[in-house]
Structure 1
């Protein structure tokens, strides 16, 4: 299979992948109808990383796909090295495709003497030679402004809502946000599901204790309804599990959990399998190991969306058009 797509004039599209999530890269390449560019990547004895492209990328528009999964620092560094290698190999343009963007939750200073790590990641990618960034459901929209160049912010909502719509009774559904900060996204979900009622879980969080929050009560009417609890990511699963419990205690008929990124750090699989949700739906922006899968977990492919966005960028089309103007 060809490893590139010829464009107008001298332009050529090439897709290359790091080692973090090769299955997703292969699926995106298949959607584009090309093979992945051969990449040699390995670690030295002292843990330093080496990368080299197996074919010339001179004059190409290269898209470098790497999802920043655990161990995040290793795969982020590999991504940076791939960008640097492409730039030094005279690629025409370098687009970073990071379905899950590293350090996105560290997007502001909550206390003094803290870094803004999401900004630092953007700066490093730019310094390495990235011309453009493409990512899916950034934790906060402001991250788009951290990078000095175009940022294509893709939404997984169409993928998730199309599936969830077939799993619930639309005449008796309510959308629930896990906290007040995600209300805007929950409103968009409610609109996609036919203008259904909206609720949110009131919770408190201690900024000095990571991955811990306390769900207190549901604000809104969920009694007797099939609820869809929506979030951008699930990490250790504690917040979601507590939210499901609070929603069910408020009289909900059932709860479907829907999130874009299945980080699923331990003990998320156990918490989610035991929390009482009828189904947990995520996309494959991150690899989910066999031992982290459980009954009731559904993983949807994000590859068609990423492939369409890559093609739009390469053809100088509109990525925004993929989301009906909601991008």
Structure 2
């Protein structure tokens, strides 16, 4: 039987994009909150003996994780042969070390949590820094989709003479991939973080970049403070207003408006998290990755 795809609340539009690329059925599910805040789950489509795929991007993960857990456990209880997750954005990846005494390495804890009730996982550009591969912390098969090619296609079509700029050292892996896809130069700035809402970015020597259009590329834009600090340095260097591209547009609180107010030319993002800036579609690449991963898995993982 063909796989059945369930959209967790808020993921319906992205699931329809996937449905066009995967030969599958889109399942029906009822999910709601009881008055006391507990989650009610009912899978209205038959899952017995079938591959079940849940689609759930994991921004605001604490609000979504329990519902996902209950839905996946319900599918397994009802006889699903395998239960997988397509999570365009994978949360809890940045705390990949114990930076202060008493902290936990929550990226590993969250990985253990998901690995306990899922058979496989597909995601887009997880924030891998001290962990180099997902299988260092996930005990289930995983597949990572890189957005660089799709971002490169968008830049090639919409930006004249682009110069890719990574706002900090951690962004180099994304900036370099995008620059390679576009076949244009790139540079990476240095960042000093002074708190969750305060960062400082190194000065930029713009002598070699005159005449180019700066394109800031990063994987996650949360508070946008890193991007905003980089925008300020570009202005100081006499470069034009940049295009800002984020793989995962988290945009916590007023971050999106703050970035616009900083004086950018345009803000663009991939559709890993629904946001008005979504201009780069990664659904087809995710669908291909999911099909490839399912094809090599045993029935009982």
Q: Same fold (TM over 0.5)?
A: yes
- For the residue of structure 2 that corresponds to 1:51, the secondary structure is strand
For residues 211 and 18 of structure 1, the distance between their equivalents in structure 2, rounded to whole angstroms, comes to 31
Work out whether residues 199 and 222 of structure 1, in 8 Å CA contact, stay in contact via their aligned partners in 2.
no
Match of 1:258 among 236, 240, 245: 245
Equivalent residues in 2 for 1:139-288, closer than 5 Å: 139-140=127-128, 141-169=132-160, 172-194=161-183, 196-206=184-194, 209-218=195-204, 221-288=208-275
- For the residue of structure 2 that corresponds to 1:164, the secondary structure is helix
State the match for 1:66 in structure 2: 56
Task: Quote the offset at 1:161 in angstroms.
Answer: 0.9
For residues 298 and 275 of structure 1, the distance between their equivalents in structure 2, rounded to whole angstroms, comes to 20
| Structure 1 residue runs without a partner (length 5+) | 1-5, 7-11, 318-327
Work out whether residues 271 and 278 of structure 2, in 8 Å CA contact, stay in contact via their aligned partners in 1.
no
From the superposition, tell whether residues 298 and 53 of structure 1 become closer, same or farther in structure 2 (CA, over 3 Å): closer
Task: Quote the offset at 1:51 in angstroms.
Answer: 1.2
- For the residue of structure 1 that corresponds to 2:203, the secondary structure is strand
State the match for 1:23 in structure 2: 13
- For the residue of structure 1 that corresponds to 2:204, the secondary structure is strand
State the match for 1:325 in structure 2: none
From the superposition, tell whether residues 142 and 107 of structure 1 become closer, same or farther in structure 2 (CA, over 3 Å): farther
- For the residue of structure 1 that corresponds to 2:190, the secondary structure is strand
Per-residue displacement from partner, 1:83-120 (whole Å, max 9, x unpaired)?
A: 21122222111111111112122222211211111211
- For the residue of structure 1 that corresponds to 2:89, the secondary structure is coil
Task: Quote the offset at 1:75 in angstroms.
Answer: 0.8
| Structure 2 residue runs without a partner (length 5+) | none
For residues 137 and 34 of structure 1, the distance between their equivalents in structure 2, rounded to whole angstroms, comes to 25
| 2:294 is the alignment partner of 1:314 | yes
- For the residue of structure 2 that corresponds to 1:166, the secondary structure is helix
Root-mean-square deviation over aligned CA pairs: 2.0
For residues 219 and 95 of structure 1, the distance between their equivalents in structure 2, rounded to whole angstroms, comes to 47
For residues 289 and 260 of structure 2, the distance between their equivalents in structure 1, rounded to whole angstroms, comes to 33
Work out whether residues 190 and 201 of structure 2, in 8 Å CA contact, stay in contact via their aligned partners in 1.
yes
Task: Quote the offset at 1:33 in angstroms.
Answer: 5.2
Work out whether residues 20 and 68 of structure 1, in 8 Å CA contact, stay in contact via their aligned partners in 2.
no
How many residues are paired up?
293
For residues 31 and 87 of structure 1, the distance between their equivalents in structure 2, rounded to whole angstroms, comes to 25
For residues 298 and 88 of structure 1, the distance between their equivalents in structure 2, rounded to whole angstroms, comes to 36
TM-score of the aligned structures, taking structure 1 as reference length: 0.83
Work out whether residues 202 and 215 of structure 1, in 8 Å CA contact, stay in contact via their aligned partners in 2.
yes
For residues 74 and 253 of structure 1, the distance between their equivalents in structure 2, rounded to whole angstroms, comes to 40
For residues 36 and 5 of structure 2, the distance between their equivalents in structure 1, rounded to whole angstroms, comes to 29
| 2:79 is the alignment partner of 1:99 | no
State the match for 1:301 in structure 2: 281
Task: Quote the offset at 1:298 in angstroms.
Answer: 4.8
Work out whether residues 96 and 134 of structure 1, in 8 Å CA contact, stay in contact via their aligned partners in 2.
yes
- For the residue of structure 2 that corresponds to 1:175, the secondary structure is strand
Work out whether residues 32 and 40 of structure 2, in 8 Å CA contact, stay in contact via their aligned partners in 1.
yes
